[in-house]
Amino acid sequence: MSVNKKNLPIDVLLNCILVNENVRPAMLVQPADYKEATHEDPKTNAIIEEIKHSFPKLILSTDYDNYQGVIISKIDYNGNKTISLTEMGKILGYPCYEDFSTIDNNKITYTIDIFVNTNQRRQIQIVANRCKDETKLEKFNTLAKKAKIAFAKKQYKEILNGIEVEEVYVNSFANIPTQTIINKLLSNEKLEQNELNKIQNILYNLGFSMELEYYFSNNFQYNNPIHKGILLELLLKDKHNILSPFYPLQNYPAQFKKVQELTELWEKGLLDILQKTATEAPTRAETTLQSKKAHTAKFSSLNRIRASLKALGMGGIATTQHTKKHKKKNSKNTHYRSKH
């Protein structure tokens, strides 16, 4: 987690500036991004307290039903009735929030991100939104232009502490349906790079760590029947996730922590089986595939959504709807791959 001198993660800081400057109506701080369950947990609470100090005009809302995180806005949503996933997307200013209820996961959709490049050679995702198509692309471009102006204001120079925003740009990429990958694996077809990236996103959104993602990027053997069987099961879990009726999981903090613990044990078991069943020497085709995946591993990590694509949103283990950071970074806030 990268922070500035005010101890705010840089993506949170940039989004606070956007809300403060009315570039977007609200942002969301999700405890799940910091492996916590509620805003009262230490890391999230420290972030919230710093936002209160640095941006006194912003209102923090936590008292609403269907809790997804701390809403940061100039509007008070405390005591609000249930905020649906679609309504949350509207509150956060996602151009494609209306698509949420009509997304067809069996068809190609698009994740449209807004990224920031800084003078410190860092790429930061500030918005990620899953859309049915690219018809609202111009709205994202307009948002990016307004963001660039806001970040350049002198009043934020001190809090940015040497960070200068050099570029704000929009990136759009197609989301491959999970079933497409399943079909290709069953017919022994070669996976394309965007399909390999999708697998990385799925691993992230199932709550696994970078260790398992790294294994898939560098050591996974697609021609190994045991490895392939494990992957097919993970793909089916992504397509028919039995936890989805309980999204966002922040509504069940005790169970959410238990899910995280069980996911860690699950990952250890998977790695143990994958390593024990790996052949001694990968085939030439596998070696080539691993090389190509390793070459794009960093890009895939920077762009994965931080929330389940099904939840359209932010953070591992599908905590909300608008996102998955190919990130989060989910929704960090993506209806959504994600960010705030």
Domains held by the chain: number: 3
CB atoms within 10 A of CB 252: 16
Residue 188 domain-assigned (yes or no): yes
Residue 5 domain-assigned (yes or no): no
Q: Are residues 153 and 222 in the same domain?
A: no
Give pLDDT tens digits for 235-247: 999 999 888 888 7
Q: Are residues 110 and 164 in the same domain?
A: yes
Q: Are residues 222 and 322 in the same domain?
A: yes
Say what the pLDDT of residue 340 is: 47
Say what the pLDDT of residue 282 is: 52
Model confidence band, residue 4 (pLDDT cutoffs 50, 70, 90): low
Residue 23 domain-assigned (yes or no): yes
Please report, for residues 16, 160, 175, 181, the alpha-carbon distance to residue 151 in angstroms, rounded to integers and kept in the order given: 11, 9, 30, 40
pLDDT for 296 beyond 80? no
Residue 92 domain-assigned (yes or no): no
Lowest mean pLDDT, pick from 22-26, 203-207, 245-249, 326-330? 326-330
Domain range for 243? 178-337
Say what the pLDDT of residue 100 is: 85
Residue 254 domain-assigned (yes or no): yes
pLDDT for 323 beyond 80? no
Q: Report how far residue 204's alpha carbon sits from residue 303's, in angstroms, rounded to the nearest whole number.
A: 11
Q: Report how far residue 130's alpha carbon sits from residue 291's, in angstroms, rounded to the nearest whole number.
A: 29
Q: Looking at 131, 151, 175, which one is the last position of a domain?
A: 175
More confident position, 68 or 9? 9
Say what the pLDDT of residue 288 is: 43
**Percent residues over pLDDT 90 in the chain:** 64
Pairing of strands 165-175, 109-118: antiparallel
Q: Looking at 48, 83, 118, which one is the last position of a domain?
A: 83
Model confidence band, residue 36 (pLDDT cutoffs 50, 70, 90): confident
CB contact at 8 A, 172 and 112: yes
pLDDT for 303 beyond 60? no
Indicate the DSSP class of residue 154: G
pLDDT for 3 beyond 80? no
Lowest mean pLDDT, pick from 9-18, 123-132, 269-278, 294-303? 294-303
Q: Are residues 209 and 185 in the same domain?
A: yes
Q: Are residues 119 and 23 in the same domain?
A: no
Q: Are residues 48 and 107 in the same domain?
A: no
Q: Are residues 192 and 312 in the same domain?
A: yes
Q: Are residues 138 and 40 in the same domain?
A: no
Its pTM stands at: 0.75
pLDDT for 173 beyond 60? yes
Model confidence band, residue 181 (pLDDT cutoffs 50, 70, 90): very high
Q: Looking at 21, 56, 83, which one is the last position of a domain?
A: 83
Q: Report how far residue 186's alpha carbon sits from residue 205's, in angstroms, rounded to the nearest whole number.
A: 23
Give pLDDT tens digits for 183-207: 999 999 999 998 999 999 899 989 9
Model confidence band, residue 155 (pLDDT cutoffs 50, 70, 90): very high
Model confidence band, residue 48 (pLDDT cutoffs 50, 70, 90): very high
Q: Are residues 118 and 258 in the same domain?
A: no
User: 3-state class of 284 per DSSP?
Assistant: helix
Q: Are residues 119 and 61 in the same domain?
A: no
Residue 97 domain-assigned (yes or no): no
Residue 54 domain-assigned (yes or no): yes
Residue 37 domain-assigned (yes or no): yes
Q: Are residues 168 and 255 in the same domain?
A: no
Q: Are residues 75 and 124 in the same domain?
A: no
Model confidence band, residue 65 (pLDDT cutoffs 50, 70, 90): confident
Instruction: Return left, alpha or beta for 41; rule: phi > 0 is left, psi -120 to 50 is alpha, else beta.
Output: beta
Give me the mean pLDDT over the 4-26 stretch.
91
Q: Could you tell me how far CA 178 lies from the centroid of its own chain?
A: 17
